[in-house]
Amino acid sequence: MVTKNLETKDKVLMIDAEKCTGCRLCELVCAVKHDGASNPSRSRIRVMKWEMDGVYIPMACRQCQKAPCMEVCPASAISRNDDLNKIEVDQNKCIGCRSCVAICPFGAMGFNSIDRKVFKCDVCDGDPQCVRFCEVQAVQYLNADDVAILKKQDAAAKLYAKSVKVALKSA
């Protein structure tokens, strides 16, 4: 178990909206994993869709270092698990007030109207099923340092492409 904790401590979900096809398989496997039902409303990851533009963006908890959901919870039901680098909801303490739902800047907190409790992505304790089943790799679980490098490479490639277009236009 210690080995798994060390492997997942610095990992984060990286979402590449440009790769997402909007299939929503991530939503289904998440709901089945956590609630045993293929009900997207019970999923901890949600695909936001702009059908007319063909844009699909998977949204999930960002496991914020200074998590507003944790700070606003009046029942202290939300805490950080430093071993797995994730924010957790203690269902036994949750009073269902939804303060965390209202304050989350990413809309990552959900509310289960049957149980009257909130829920959020728990990165499947280090083995996120949304990542495992995303065929186009729009959702990945990577080392935080690797994410930073990938983002820099992507930004550099876009700047380079733009500078080439500008150079060709002025030639």
Residue 50 maps to a domain: yes
Residue 20 maps to a domain: yes
Residue 155 maps to a domain: no
8 Å CB contact between 31 and 43 = yes
Residue 167 maps to a domain: no
8 Å CB contact between 31 and 42 = yes
Q: Which CATH number covers residue 95? A: 3.30.70.20
Residue 162 maps to a domain: no
Residue 168 maps to a domain: no
pLDDT at 171: 67
For the stretch 36-72, what's the b/e string if a residue is b when 16 or more beta carbons lie within 10 angstroms of its beta carbon? eeeeeebbbbbbeeeeeeeebbbebbbbbeebbbbee
Question: Which residue range is the domain that position 11 belongs to?
Answer: 2-144
- Domain total of the chain: 1
Residue closest to 24 by CA, chosen among 128, 138, 141: 138
pTM of this structure: 0.80
pLDDT tens column, 66-117: 999 999 999 999 999 988 889 999 999 999 999 999 999 999 999 988 889 9
Residue 44 maps to a domain: yes
Average pLDDT, the chain: 89
pLDDT tens column, 29-69: 999 999 999 898 899 999 999 989 989 999 999 999 999 99
Residue 157 maps to a domain: no
